[in-house]
Amino acid sequence: MRGSFVKMAVSLSAAMLLMSGCAQMQMGSSKAQTTATGAAAGATSQNANKGLEHCSRPLGTLAIHEDTKADWYHYLTTNWHLPSTVPVLKLLAQQSNCFVVVERGKGMKDIMRERELMQSGELRRRSNFRKGQLVAADYTLIPSITFSAKNTSGIGGVVGAFFGSVAGAVAGGIKTSDASTVLTLVDNRSGVQIAAAEGSARNIDFNLLGGLFGGVGVGVGGYSNTPEGKVIVAAFTDSFNKLVRALKQYKEQRVQGGLGTGGALGVQGSENSGLVQTYEGVMVSRVYNPKTKMYDYTIITKDRSAKFTFSSRKKIPYKDDLVRFNVIDGKVDPSSIKLLERRYYQKYWQ
């Protein structure tokens, strides 16, 4: 009897301990949150970081590409045992309402698998997985961690082996963990880099000072084991905010003659030397200069992507007209100008 009573007491005690452990479990604990917190659904978000930049309307669709062969990714996943950065960046992008996020990662396998099932005849007829429904990604966001360090006082792992020296500070026993990240935004149609932004973050480890404050009940020692992942998320949040701020002030870069047509920096003996390019444009200005005894002209290309200015002693009778002309090494050839349509400016540009 006594043995049975002891066994019952032990079992009851274990059950009470388990129940006590369950009672202490906290969902949505602020101590476990990063700077990328809350949720997003369509254009709405809940409990998003109040410091996250927001757009009144999306700028386009966005895919995220993470270079899993890069050194920073290897260190992130192997040494720190941290997962992909893509889910965090997806959350930030959707919560900001600056982009509509499209799946181009591992989820694409499941997307294509459903289409394969449809083609095999296994899905119901009204499943509606026909071709032409996937949404194109206007832009690709490319993340990278340029440097990071744990315990930059020299205690712990330092990523200097990959990224060079990392500034660290130890003052009065304070140890720090730093992270610096870069986000690059690329236009998928042209391949042109639209924007790039660097962000950074630091957490402070009060481990060596914990004893000083512990006696007065402050409990600062709880910060000593802050996960490195929180620092990286904070750095990416900083990068994203800076990227959005730059995009809100965005002005497209223009190259005379158009992008990818040779550029303005000629090289002797290159294929671009003496290159002849033909354009259509409107002669919007013709002014006689009595000092030079020449006419100064301005032609804007039909798509308004470039402007050319030149001078000639000859009065060309095509003011406000659409013309075709040649450009040689970035300079207009006046003898090549041919009329295409009279009064184009008044008809279509005014």
Q: Are 316 and 298 in contact (CB under 8 A)?
A: no
The three-state secondary structure class of 24 is helix
Question: What is 278-332 written as a DSSP string?
Answer: EEEEEEEEEEEETTTTEEEEEEEETTSS-EEEEEESS--S-TT-EEEEEEETTEE
User: 86-96 and 228-248 helices cross at what angle (nearest 10)?
Assistant: 40
Given a cut of 50, whether residue 29 has pLDDT beyond it is no
The predicted structure's pLDDT at residue 161: 34
The predicted structure's pLDDT at residue 175: 54
Tell me the pLDDT tens digit for each residue of 259-308. Answer: 776 666 666 665 555 677 889 999 999 999 999 999 999 999 999 989 99
Q: Are 232 and 82 in contact (CB under 8 A)?
A: yes
**Residue from 292, 282, 288, 296 nearest 348 by CA:** 282
- As a whole number, the mean pLDDT across the chain is 76
Q: Are 168 and 178 in contact (CB under 8 A)?
A: yes
The predicted structure's pLDDT at residue 149: 61
The predicted structure's pLDDT at residue 330: 82
Instruction: Give percent of the chain with pLDDT exceeding 90.
Output: 40
The predicted structure's pLDDT at residue 157: 39
Instruction: Give percent of the chain with pLDDT exceeding 70.
Output: 67
- The DSSP secondary-structure symbol of 174 reads B
220 confidence band (pLDDT: 50, 70, 90): very low
Residue recorded with tokens 């604990």: 29
How far, rounded to the nearest angstrom, does the alpha carbon of residue 24 sit from its chain's CA centroid? 39
Lowest mean pLDDT among 10-14, 41-45, 140-144, 187-191: 10-14
Given a cut of 70, whether residue 33 has pLDDT beyond it is no
**Residue from 131, 231, 225 nearest 181 by CA:** 231
What is the C-alpha to C-alpha distance for residues 89 and 197, in angstroms, rounded to an integer? 14
**Residue from 188, 197, 203 nearest 149 by CA:** 203
Beta strands in 115-228 (DSSP E): 139-149, 175-187, 193-205
Residue recorded with tokens 């997003």: 40
Tell me the pLDDT tens digit for each residue of 221-263. Answer: 222 334 577 888 888 999 999 999 999 999 988 876 677 766 6
Q: How is residue 42 written in tokens?
A: 């369509």
Task: List 285's β-bridge partners, or say none.
Answer: 298
How many DSSP H helices and E strands does the chain contain?
A: 8, 12
The predicted structure's pLDDT at residue 154: 41
49 confidence band (pLDDT: 50, 70, 90): low
Range picked from 29-38, 49-58, 300-309 for highest mean pLDDT: 300-309
What is the C-alpha to C-alpha distance for residues 145 and 155, in angstroms, rounded to an integer? 21
- CATH assignment of 36-102+137-248? 3.40.50
Output 5 or 124, whichever has higher pLDDT: 124
Task: List 277's β-bridge partners, or say none.
Answer: 327
Does residue 320 come out as left (phi exceeding 0), alpha (psi in the -120 to 50 range) or beta?
A: left
2 confidence band (pLDDT: 50, 70, 90): low
Q: How is residue 251 written in tokens?
A: 């002005």
3 confidence band (pLDDT: 50, 70, 90): low
The three-state secondary structure class of 49 is coil
Output 301 or 128, whichever has higher pLDDT: 301
What is the C-alpha to C-alpha distance for residues 144 and 126, in angstroms, rounded to an integer? 42
